[in-house]
Structure 1
Amino acid sequence: MIVVACPGQGSQTPGFLAPWLELDGVADSLAAYSEAAQVDLIRHGTESDADTIRDTRIAQPLIVAASLIAAQALVGRAGRTPDGVAGHSVGELAALVGSAVISAEHAMRLVGVRGRAMADAAAQTPTGMSAVIGGDEQTVLARLTELGLSPANYNGGGQIVVAGSLPALAELAEAPVKGTRVIPLQVAGAFHTDYMAPAVAALRSAVAAVVPSDPQIKLWTNRDGSIVTSGASALELIVNQVSSPVRWDLCMSSFADNGITGLIELAPAGALTGLAKRGLRGTPTVAVKTPEDLDAAAELLNGAAA
């Protein structure tokens, strides 16, 4: 079973869309996606600097658009769809398209709303996020409770991303739990926590206008790593996900339980294949960063050794 994984915020880098624009039809697709998301994806994906594309309003549409472009190119190259799909955080919107729950246009409209709403929510209170690497998980969680911080992403492989007030994050970094490293992340907000409650309401309103279909391939949810069989449930889950933790660790466990034989991460790729090397040891992976990676991904999708 080959699973395609769609990455989340933080995976974007300056100019990463440039090589994709060399493929036929990509410029037209990005123009349509730009209109739907209300973001100039071609300009920001080829010209804007790291600080500009770190803006949540820009980053989220860029990431989803890149995954959609890469997914279409991969299926065209391989001649078949994957067996299953999952997304990390905002990547779940691309996963909904990959499983035929919603259209690409709907996904881009929703990610535009999501990015703007989460940026607005983050602006209300100065907050941030940090990655905690290593250590005993229960000891780390207990320390977070003491500091008033929340676990935002359980990424597996001994990594938890935590979120909350800047003073509390600073205190955690100054006195880390034994056996851990604390790495501040360049994001302006405590995503996947109660700080994002205003964004949940905005996204729920936008989702109400979308009529979903049920998934046509296996679709995993960040809520608990389970497989979603209802399109309506899938949409509700991506709404609630904005203010609840991402359980990528449970997604990877479920991949293994369902007999995964390979994982392909769509553009802008790298983070999820890195996590898979620790959480899905021995599973072949391909990170589709540029069109040059499509042949290796197509080989894996068709059952050959990558």
Structure 2
Amino acid sequence: MLAIVCPGQGAQKPGFLTPWRELDGVDQTLASLSEAAGVDLLRHGTESDADTIRDTAVAQPLLVAAGILAAAQLRAEDGLPAADVIAGHSVGEVTAAALTGVLSNEDALRLVAVRSRAMAEAAAAEPTSMAAVVGGTREEVLAKIAEHGLHPANINSAVQVVAAGAAEKIAALGEDAPAKARVIPLQVAGAFHTPYMASAREELARFAPSLSPADPSVPLVSNAGGEVVTSGAAYLDSIVTQVASPVDWEACMATFRDRGVTALIEVAPAGTLTGLAKRELKGIALANLNTPDDLEAARALVREHAGATPSDQEN
């Protein structure tokens, strides 16, 4: 059983799309996706510096385009079986919608363009930020986050929760960390996936009816409690709600475990989600698809694990 996962904001790195340009058709694909997003993805993915691509309105379309591009190259081999389940962390859920056919590539970029601009505008309304709380017990971590008037924006694993809220409260949490935990400030300018994003949610709700979603061709696991989305309409409702609600990636990984996933591939820019899986999903095969050099190993993993049950792997 194979899962393909798509990373969220913060995974981007300067120049990370450069290696893909050696493949035929990549520049044309990026040009088409750039037009849909209203963002020069080729320039930002190859030339722009870290500060430029940290901008929410740039980072999110760039991540979605990168995931679409890498997955398309992965599936370029004739006869390669489909993944058994697909999921994305935060904005990666838009990538996942494209990979499962819920949205066309162009509509995925149109959606993420609206999403990213609306979230950037909401973030600019007042100074807010996020910080990863690593370690401690879940109950004590959540209690400390609430004590400081903050929100648990991302439940990433059993030992990692991302807190979000007013910048001064994030700083105060750093000075008053939960027992046996570290507070690591994140390089984001916004309290994403919290009530601070209410205006972004409203803007997405106005935009969503312009899209024509299809039902997913592959099971799509939602950030909302690890639920498997079975209809395009339900996906749109979920992605609208998601911008102001917590991302529960721990629940997504639990769904992978329950469905018998034996291998996981993270599309570019990869490493964050495979890192979480390495700790939480012991024993599964992992692959990062960051450059064309990674394609052969990733395809081998697809051929071995897609459609196979855990018992098949043992025989």
Give me the whole-angstrom Cα distance separating, in 2, the residues matched to 1:198 and 1:80: 41
What is the aligned partner in structure 2 of residue 65 from structure 1?
65
Using the TM superposition, give the Cα deviation of residue 98 of structure 1 relative to its aligned residue in structure 2, in angstroms. Answer: 1.1
What is the SS of the residue equivalent to 1:286?
Answer: strand
What is the aligned partner in structure 2 of residue 92 from structure 1?
93
After TM superposition, the score normalised by the length of structure 1 is 0.98
> Do 1:197 and 1:243's aligned partners in 2 also have CA atoms closer than 8 Å?
yes
Using the TM superposition, give the Cα deviation of residue 80 of structure 1 relative to its aligned residue in structure 2, in angstroms. Answer: 2.8
What is the aligned partner in structure 2 of residue 28 from structure 1?
28
Please list the CA deviations of residues 34-92 of structure 1 after superposition, one character each: whole Å capped at 9, or x if unmatched.
11111000111111000000000000000000000001011113723211100000000
Q: Where do residues 134-149 of structure 1 align in structure 2 (5 Å cutoff)?
A: 134-149=135-150
Structure 2 unaligned segments of length 5 or more: list them.
306-312
Please list the CA deviations of residues 186-233 of structure 1 after superposition, one character each: whole Å capped at 9, or x if unmatched.
000000000001111111222111111111111100001011111100
Structure 2 residue 44 is the aligned partner of structure 1 residue 44 = yes
Q: Which amino acid aligns with 1:151?
A: P
Give me the whole-angstrom Cα distance separating, in 2, the residues matched to 1:92 and 1:85: 9
What is the aligned partner in structure 1 of residue 153 from structure 2?
152
Give me the whole-angstrom Cα distance separating, in 1, the residues matched to 2:77 and 2:289: 13
Percent of counterpart pairs with the same letter? 55
What is the aligned partner in structure 2 of residue 253 from structure 1?
254
Q: Where do residues 289-304 of structure 1 align in structure 2 (5 Å cutoff)?
A: 289-303=290-304
Give me the whole-angstrom Cα distance separating, in 2, the residues matched to 1:303 and 1:226: 26
Give me the whole-angstrom Cα distance separating, in 2, the residues matched to 1:205 and 1:16: 33
Give me the whole-angstrom Cα distance separating, in 2, the residues matched to 1:248 and 1:77: 30
What is the SS of the residue equivalent to 1:160?
Answer: strand
> Do 2:138 and 2:158's aligned partners in 1 also have CA atoms closer than 8 Å?
no
Give me the whole-angstrom Cα distance separating, in 1, the residues matched to 2:224 and 2:60: 19
What is the aligned partner in structure 2 of residue 234 from structure 1?
235
> Do 1:129 and 1:164's aligned partners in 2 also have CA atoms closer than 8 Å?
yes
Give me the whole-angstrom Cα distance separating, in 2, the residues matched to 1:84 and 1:298: 16
Using the TM superposition, give the Cα deviation of residue 157 of structure 1 relative to its aligned residue in structure 2, in angstroms. Answer: 3.9
Aligned residues: 305
| Segments of 4+ moved more than 3 angstroms | none
Using the TM superposition, give the Cα deviation of residue 256 of structure 1 relative to its aligned residue in structure 2, in angstroms. Answer: 0.3
Give me the whole-angstrom Cα distance separating, in 2, the residues matched to 1:206 and 1:75: 31
Q: Where do residues 119-198 of structure 1 align in structure 2 (5 Å cutoff)?
A: 119-198=120-199
Q: Which amino acid aligns with 1:98?
A: L
> Do 1:260 and 1:283's aligned partners in 2 also have CA atoms closer than 8 Å?
yes
